[in-house]
Structure 1
Amino acid sequence: MKVGVLGFNGFMGKNLCQHLKSTFEVVEVSLRDTDWETQLQQCDVYINLVGKAHDHKGVATELDYYYANSDLPKRVFEVFLKSEAKLYIHVSSLAAQQELKSDRALLEDDPCQPVTTYGKSKRDFEEWILKKTPLTDKKVIVLRPPMVHGPGDKGNLGVLYKLISKGIPYPLNAFKNERSFLSIDNFCYFVKKIIDNQGKLISGIYNVSDDEPVSTTKIINIIKNEASKKVINVSLPKFFVKAIAKIGDVLPIPLNSVRLEKMTSNLLVSNQKIKTALEIEKLPLSAEEGLRKTIRSFIDKKI
């Protein structure tokens, strides 16, 4: 079976291709190639990881996000519809549904409330593809992961690791929260299970996450343990931190109200729908095991 992977050169793509190559013939497809449509035509399964998430330089426009997260995937899906392939896996994001907080585990049919241009552009494609899906006998699976982490990750977990590993105290210990994450190992496991058992799934959206949520305090303790660092957690008064965040709403300082909400609120996801469909009792790694593996990779690479 040939599996075409778009977005193969990113963090998730590199890990997924390595995982799938032990079982399938993986075709790494770049949309920059003039013959990308021809490359995809020979594939039995399409996996789309193409998208824009982070704008570290602060120069991306709204059009940039919609082009990468909606317009390009639409072109890929149209090619899929004309092909002989029967399975299309599109990796969306939890941000298409909720970006800030949820005190209970989100289900796939809960209301969508994206806030950022990133989340809105991801939701735009979801709405489009869901309208197209009933018109085809092909299988279309849309995955919504929360933050994915693992070796090679350059996201917020790495930033937190750098902070703690340098002995800088975490200043928001007064805020108690839990969030759902997804280790790259569990993500790859989900994708392979979908390919192997595509007949058990109906087309639609599926949340994917680790089985257990993790508190920020727990993550910090894992970092300190793995990095052998004795760092004091600082509990600044909540009113003081919120006041600083309000200042950040109007002045260019690292903390603002939206960032504070993301760092300190609950954001929980239920993965029960896909686990039930694929008859999964337990994922390969617990949330804590996955986090420890990621932190050890940071230590090994001395990021």
Structure 2
Amino acid sequence: MFLTGASGFIGGYFYKTYFADYDIVPISLRKQTVGSLDFKDVEAVVHCAALVHQMEGAPAELYFKINRDLTLELARRAKMERVKHFVFLSTSHVFGDSGQVKDHDKIWSSQDECHPLDPYGQSKLEAEKGLLELANEGFKVSILRPPMVYGPGAKGNIIQLAKLIRKFRVLPLGYLKNRRSLIFIGNLCFYIKCLIEEPKTGIFLPQDEKPLSIGEICEAIAQAMNQNLTLLPLPNLVIWVAEKFTPSIAYRLFGTLAFANDPWLEKFERLTSTQEGFQRSFAPRNKEG
């Protein structure tokens, strides 16, 4: 199989975990053109490469060029070369919801209408639509929309949170009303493997066993670090002020972005519990995070 993004967080983890199980050929679309690829004996393509939202300053058109156009070019060529299966790593950003502060009962499913708010989410959603138009009985397209992914070597919000917990023994993050879906990198890669073993066209929402509040996430990280942490509860007024003046921070910390259990993925038993995932990610022996 071809694997793009093998130098990245998710693609790299998938490669080092499953290279002995499959004949995985890492390809770089920075160094190779789609037209130069030799698809002989390739039965599946796992497409993890992307221009991600952390890359600040990237022009909008570059997101569409890489995340949409290059993805569809690769998929069309794969289909033309009779590849049977295309696995696309999308994102929860397609929903256009960075976290509901007022509605903690909202649960997202793969059937919900998407309204992405930024070029990253928009380009991923347009890629999804184009891929599903290519899908047929001989060319299965599996799309995964992971929530926040954590694990050794992860970047993003959860790492910033871990740095705060390492630095301070008391934090005003004892908020338990919100819910955030998240997934350990090992579980996400396991679900990719499940789809490779049982190719299926559709949109899938992978996650750990249940969404957690910001308070529960902080407690789990501190426990993995073997660190005492006191979380102070926040009154609703403080959250209201945060939402009014710093909405992006309020949504990330106190908002709800929770998935419904995916009926197809749920038939597979997760490899790693959330508690074990945090332990593997943030225990003192790990330098990452």
Q: Is TM-score (shorter-chain normalized) higher than 0.5?
A: yes
Per the TM alignment, residue 60 of structure 1 is displaced from its structure 2 partner at its CA by 1.4
Aligned to 2:140: 139
Per the TM alignment, residue 63 of structure 1 is displaced from its structure 2 partner at its CA by 1.1
Per the TM alignment, residue 79 of structure 1 is displaced from its structure 2 partner at its CA by 1.3
Paired with 1:293 and 1:149, the residues of 2 have a C-alpha distance of 10
1:270 to 254, 260, 265: 260
Aligned to 1:253: none
Per the TM alignment, residue 241 of structure 1 is displaced from its structure 2 partner at its CA by 4.5
In the alignment, residue 46 of structure 2 is paired with which amino acid?
A: I
Paired with 1:38 and 1:25, the residues of 2 have a C-alpha distance of 20
1:33 to 25, 31, 34: 31
In the alignment, residue 129 of structure 1 is paired with which amino acid?
A: L
Aligned positions, number: 284
Per the TM alignment, residue 293 of structure 1 is displaced from its structure 2 partner at its CA by 1.7
User: Does the 8 Å CA contact 1:97/1:112 hold for their aligned counterparts?
Assistant: yes
1:125–1:10 Cα change, 3 Å:
same
Q: Secondary structure at the match of 1:301?
A: coil
Per the TM alignment, residue 128 of structure 1 is displaced from its structure 2 partner at its CA by 1.8
Alignment deviations for residues 148-201 of structure 1 (CA, whole Å, 9 cap, x no partner): 111111121111111110125332324631111111111111111111222xx3
1:64–1:25 Cα change, 3 Å:
same
User: Does the 8 Å CA contact 1:93/1:122 hold for their aligned counterparts?
Assistant: yes
Q: Secondary structure at the match of 2:230?
A: coil
1:175–1:239 Cα change, 3 Å:
farther
State the TM-score, normalized to the length of structure 2.
0.89
Aligned to 1:100: 98
Per the TM alignment, residue 8 of structure 1 is displaced from its structure 2 partner at its CA by 0.9
Alignment deviations for residues 37-83 of structure 1 (CA, whole Å, 9 cap, x no partner): 44451322101111122335x31121122222212111111211211
User: Does the 8 Å CA contact 1:207/1:273 hold for their aligned counterparts?
Assistant: no
In the alignment, residue 47 of structure 1 is paired with which amino acid?
A: V
Aligned to 2:286: 300
Paired with 1:117 and 1:5, the residues of 2 have a C-alpha distance of 24
User: Does the 8 Å CA contact 1:242/1:257 hold for their aligned counterparts?
Assistant: no
Query: Which stretch of the first structure deviates more once superposed, 94-103 or 286-295?
Result: 94-103
Gaps of 5+ in 2: none
Aligned to 1:215: 213
2:231 to 216, 230, 233: 233
- Give runs of aligned pairs for residues 190-209 of structure 1, distance below 5 A: 190-198=191-199, 201=200, 203-209=201-207
Paired with 1:101 and 1:204, the residues of 2 have a C-alpha distance of 24
- Give runs of aligned pairs for residues 1-303 of structure 1, distance below 5 A: 3-34=1-32, 36-42=34-40, 43-56=42-55, 58-101=56-99, 103-134=105-136, 137-167=138-168, 169-174=170-175, 176-198=177-199, 201=200, 203-247=201-245, 256-275=246-265, 279-280=267-268, 282-296=269-283, 299-301=285-287, 303=289
Per the TM alignment, residue 35 of structure 1 is displaced from its structure 2 partner at its CA by 5.3
The alignment-based identity, stated in percent, is 25
In the alignment, residue 79 of structure 2 is paired with which amino acid?
A: L
Alignment deviations for residues 119-171 of structure 1 (CA, whole Å, 9 cap, x no partner): 1221111122222324x621111111111111111121111111110125332
State the TM-score, normalized to the length of structure 1.
0.85
In the alignment, residue 66 of structure 1 is paired with which amino acid?
A: F
In the alignment, residue 47 of structure 2 is paired with which amino acid?
A: N
Paired with 1:169 and 1:121, the residues of 2 have a C-alpha distance of 40
Gaps of 5+ in 1: 248-255
In the alignment, residue 163 of structure 2 is paired with which amino acid?
A: K
Per the TM alignment, residue 231 of structure 1 is displaced from its structure 2 partner at its CA by 3.0
Paired with 1:275 and 1:245, the residues of 2 have a C-alpha distance of 34
User: Does the 8 Å CA contact 2:242/2:250 hold for their aligned counterparts?
Assistant: no
Paired with 1:117 and 1:182, the residues of 2 have a C-alpha distance of 23
Q: Secondary structure at the match of 2:123?
A: helix
